[in-house]
Structure 1
Amino acid sequence: MNKRYLCSISNTDTMIDPKKLAIKDFVYELPEERIAKFPLPERDQSKLLQYSAGKITDCAFTDLPRLLPPHTLLVFNNTKVVQARLLFQKETGGGVEVFCLEPVAPYREVQMAMQQTGNAVWKCLVGNNKRWKSGPVQLRFDGGMLRAERQAQQEGHFLIRFTWEPAELTFAEVLERCGRLPLPPYLNRDLTPDDHTRYQTIYANQQGAVAAPTAGLHFTERVMERLREQHIDMAYLTLHVGAGTFMPVKADVMESHEMHAEQLYITKPLLQRLLRHVGNPIIPVGTTSMRSLESLYWLGAKVLQQPALPVQELHVSQWQAYEATELPTAAEALQALLHYMESKATAYLHASTQIIIAPGYTFRICRGLITNFHQPESTLLLLVAALIGDDWRAVYRHALQQGYRFLSYGDSSLLLP
């Protein structure tokens, strides 16, 4: 077999034009009672649907280690959800909710913005905006105060300038003291004390997400130990999940849908680990990990063509994967990215990705996926369809018939095309 294609899989007709896909073709009926509103008492006691070579099998999540192919590398997203919901009070006593989306100044990079002290500007959503006529609003917390002032209104969001006291606190510390965890809107319930631990993976350690990489919520130390016993290798990356992950596709065809951008962090050890596993199964835990891994390929292809590309231009656009004409092997792309890091004398790279993975996409790195069950008419469902083709319908039909729980706190699936 030609090595060039060892890590390329496609389970859809390559003549499919993803820009012309109609989102109405990715609909299924999801009854409200099938949405898991609360987590199970124990993380790893969820169901696991195994799809392998077209066959569907019902399992438990604790079965995962024995179900993975030999020599698998599992890749986890270690992002941590920040308490991005802020409930301010106006001088007149009314409430205003501000939801932090992404940093603007003095840093656009999430990791650095979280360490900013004294003041910062963020893109935010604002609830009850009509009640916020003018001037700053404030939020008192134990030992300090946070103020917010609107600077500008842009399409779909506001630029909010935050200032706080004590000024030596980092923005991460401020959010930790006075923010609230942002639960997915479809849960449609109030936050509970359990959510603070259960809406985080056990390996989350990089602050910056406003939504959890929910496929990882099922993992426990017990499951991780069994993975090690089965000699399953594990690696970590960081993609800070944005609120755009919940955005429904409102356009009739995908060409008119603007994919949200998310920040991705790449380390040398991750690239080196991936290079050692090229040719063996590389399976991401969650759609965010899959988008990250496939984005690494396209970033590598980009620096192969443009070795002098400035670091600030490390970006994967929405349709780059479908418009490219020069296609290196997975190893060539990853090696190019590693050489690029060495040329910049940096231990990690900060990039952004808008990649949309939909039917018609050919996978360059990933050989399977661990994921939850996603909303109808969502880009996450398109990603699943890109991996297993029209069989997504059979998988979701089976899950509904067999009582699987759906969405963030729901059950899991192992998809092996």
Structure 2
Amino acid sequence: MKTADFDFNLPEELIAQTPLEKRDESRLMVLNKKTGEIQHRHFYNLLEFLNEGDCLVLNNTRVLPARLFGEKVDSGGKMEFLLLKQVRLNTWEVLVKPGKRAKIGSRFTFGDGSLEAEVIDIGEEGSRIVEFKYDGVFEAVLDRLGKMPLPPYITEELEEQERYQTVYSKHTGSAAAPTAGLHFTEELLDKIKNKGVHVVFITLHVGLGTFRPVKVENIDDHKMHAEFFMIEDEVAETINSVKERGGKVIAVGTTCCRTLESAVTEEGRIKSSSGWTDIFIYPGYQYKVIDGLVTNFHLPQSTLIMLVSALAGQENVMSAYEVAVEEKYRFFSFGDAMLIK
């Protein structure tokens, strides 16, 4: 298939710049993957589409406050760092602006000088490998000095940092939020559990490569970035038990989807595991685990809209996106949601 097959026209005013006051009051488009039928609901109506014995899988990663503002030691020039992933203890792959100033050996300081960095190597696609020096715990230093790494299409300042975290975030390590989960409240999760739905958590640390557009003409030629994931024994056992009893497994977000499909055997069983996945899911892929998906509305020509199309069909998804534009749904990270059932 061609990358252009996943393009659509999106008016800029439909890109959500701020989250709604209440998380679960966002709109919910419900798409039947077999018929293409569409319903227009609200996210708090999700409960109606889940049945006792089903399993809802959520990603409990927590976003690093990974954007740092500092200056170059020798010149005092202002610099911006964006942490991408940890290479080893105190060593990270980062994006630097302006990149031309970040040569090997360049040193930088942040905040009151309690955090310093030195470029020790050049990474992929112009990134830098830097070694940090600090006193105390790195996460605590980041909490004090760092800002949330909002996507470039969000231009407004986020007033409350926690609104770019899910209410169940736990394991810090993501460069971006698993945004489908931003719609859940603790009250809605309690209602889902009380209905007899199994709610389980996996971890996948989201990399910024998730949001990058596909730059090749044929999607077969695209190479995915790798992301770290973890699935615990108890979670794997629950999902396998639900499948054996005929219940449905609904992934919340493309990150959960990629994690589950990376840890499944040929027999369709989830195995507890941890490691790196670079699975690329696009039309033609046969899902082995998930039956449904909760997701946001994604960027044109992105791997995310391709993954969704593999589940619901490219024609169904692109038609649904046309309807979403007509009905003025809010798009991207702080936007509305879609349930594929």
TM-score in terms of structure 1 length: 0.77
Q: After the TM superposition, which of the residue ranges 85-94 and 126-135 deviates more from structure 2? A: 126-135
Matches within 5 A, 1:292-371: 292-297=259-264, 301=265, 328-331=266-269, 334=270, 337=271, 349-371=273-295
Number of the residue aligned with 2:256 = 289
For residues 204 and 366 of structure 1, the distance between their equivalents in structure 2, rounded to whole angstroms, comes to: 22
Q: How does 1:8-87 map to 2 (within 5 A)?
A: 21-52=1-32, 53-54=34-35, 55-87=37-69
Aligned twin of 1:210: 175
Identity, in percent, stands at 39
Task: Specify the SS of the correspondent of 2:298.
Answer: coil
RMSD (CA atoms): 1.5
What is the alpha-carbon distance in structure 2 between the residues aligned to residue 70 and residue 404 of structure 1? Answer: 30
For the structure 1 residues 276 and 350, does the alpha-carbon distance in structure 2 shift closer, same or farther, using more than 3 Å as the test? same
Picking from 130, 137, 142, the partner of 1:175 is 142
Post-superposition, which runs of at least 4 consecutive aligned residues in structure 1 deviate over 3 A?
131-135
Alignment partner, residue 88 of structure 1: 70
CA distance in 2, matches of 1:76, 1:393: 25
**Cα distance, 1:135 vs. partner?**
3.3
Q: Structure 2: how far apart are the matches of 1:255 and 1:288? A: 20
Question: Alignment partner for residue 155 of structure 1, among 124, 132, 147?
Answer: 124
Deviation at 1:70? 4.2
Q: 1:146 — aligned with what?
A: 115
Query: Could you tell me how far 1:72 is from its partner in structure 2?
Result: 1.4
Partner of 1:185: helix, strand, or coil? coil
Check conservation: 1:405, 1:411, Cα contact below 8 A: yes
Does residue 246 (structure 1) correspond to residue 204 (structure 2)? The answer is no
Alignment: residue pair count? 333
Unpaired runs of at least 5, structure 2? none
Alignment gaps of 5+ in structure 1: 1-20, 107-119, 302-327, 339-348
Cα distance per residue 1:116-158 (max 9 Å; x no partner): xxxx1111111112234653111134xx611111111133111
Instruction: Give the Å deviation of 1:228.
Output: 2.1
Please, which of 315, 327, 330 is the counterpart of residue 402 of structure 1? 327
TM-score if structure 2 supplies the norm length?
Answer: 0.94
